[in-house]
Amino acid sequence: MSTEEREALAAQLRETERGEAASWVTYPPSPWWWPLAFGAWTFLYVLALGLLDGVAQAGATFPLALVMVGVIAWERRRRGSWPTGRPPQQLRRPMTVLFAGLLGIAGVAWLVGETVGTWPAAALAGVAVAGLVWWYGAAYDRVATQLRSRPA
């Protein structure tokens, strides 16, 4: 294989790497109120779980679940491309922290709900989720910016 052929193939390979990362790292900026909205949603969801029972609980949590489905659908359309498969290595850390953080918040909120009360648990979960979503957005943006600026 000549040097020129090798360079052409190397350029193709770089293009595949750039293309595979594109859906993960190319997206419009998230609205500033994004973390607040997730925090408010969490607050309402924990309240519904803690204060209501039976049909009333289902009547409150079902619309909230529909709102979340709507938000995901809106986000898919806004991004223009919805990534699947394994994310780039550099994005795995903020994603892992997000999922571990959500599990931790759920555990602590449950504990507070059982020992102190539903309202403090909802407030704590809402504030914690808003903070976590804000941190995740900033961390994800930092990594995505680095990956986008890699030479093609």
Partner 1 sequence: MSETTASSALAGLDPALNAPKRLAIMAVLASSSSTDFGFLREHLQVSDSDLSKQTAALEQAGYLTVHKSGRGRGGVTSYQATKAGRAAYKRHRDTLRALLG
Nearest-approach distance from CB 26 to partner 1, in angstroms:
7
Nearest-approach distance from CB 115 to partner 1, in angstroms:
42
Instruction: Name the token pair of 130.
Output: 């808003």
Residue 22 lies near partner 1 (rule: CB under 8 A): yes
Task: Single out the residue of 28, 119, 41, 25 nearest to residue 74, CA to CA.
Answer: 28
Nearest-approach distance from CB 151 to partner 1, in angstroms:
15
Cα separations in angstroms, 50 against 24, 103, 122, 136: 36, 18, 9, 27
- Hey, which residues between 37 and 76 contact partner 1 (CB under 8 A)? 76
Residue 24 lies near partner 1 (rule: CB under 8 A): yes
Residues in the chain: 152
Residue 81 lies near partner 1 (rule: CB under 8 A): yes
Asked if residue 144 lies in contact with residue 29, where contact means CB atoms within 8 angstroms, the answer is no
**DSSP code for 29:** P
If DSSP codes are grouped into helix, strand and coil, which group holds residue 49? helix
One of 4, 29, 55, 77 touching partner 1 (CB under 8 A) = 77
If DSSP codes are grouped into helix, strand and coil, which group holds residue 75? helix
- Interacting stretch for partner 1, rule CB under 8 A, among 12-20, 60-68, 92-100, 110-118? 12-20
Number of residues in contact with partner 1 under rule CB under 8 A:
27
Nearest-approach distance from CB 84 to partner 1, in angstroms:
5
Amino acid in position 149: S
Q: Catalog residues that contact partner 1 under the rule CB under 8 A.
A: 1, 6, 9-13, 15-24, 26, 76-77, 79-85
